[in-house]
Structures are given as C-alpha cells and as structure tokens.
Amino acid sequence: MKLKKLSQKLNNLKFMHLINALALTLAIDSVNAACVWIMHQPKVPEEMKEYMK
C-alpha cells in the first residue's frame, strides 16, 4: 500500500514538472511574438525580457 502511494506521488510530481516545462516554453514563445490585435500589446514582465531574442 505504501509503495502505491509513493508511486502516485512520483507520477504527480513528474506531471507537475511537465506542466511547468510547458508553461515556460509557452511563455518564451509568447515573449518573442507580437500581438496580432492592432491596438493592444501587453507589457512584458521584466523577468521575461531575458528570454527575448
């Protein structure tokens, strides 16, 4: 029973790492793209400016 709970916790941890990697990838992609709407380009946070090309 303990091994099953440990396995579930490890799977949840791996899933969260995958979600975090996906979020970072999308953030880097969006910081390098321009807004398609004519009148609004949101401000980029200072932390994301280091990922700009």
Residues 6 or more apart whose CB falls under 8 angstroms from that of 34 comprise 41
Count of the separate structural domains present in the chain: 1
pLDDT of res. 47: 80
Is residue 49 within 8 A of residue 28, CB to CB? The reply is no
pLDDT of res. 39: 67
pLDDT of res. 38: 67
Per-residue pLDDT tens over the stretch 9-50 = 777 788 888 888 998 888 888 887 777 676 677 777 788 778
Rounded Cα distance between 40 and 23, Å, is 23
4 compared with 23, residue with greater pLDDT: 23
Residues 6 or more apart whose CB falls under 8 angstroms from that of 9 comprise none
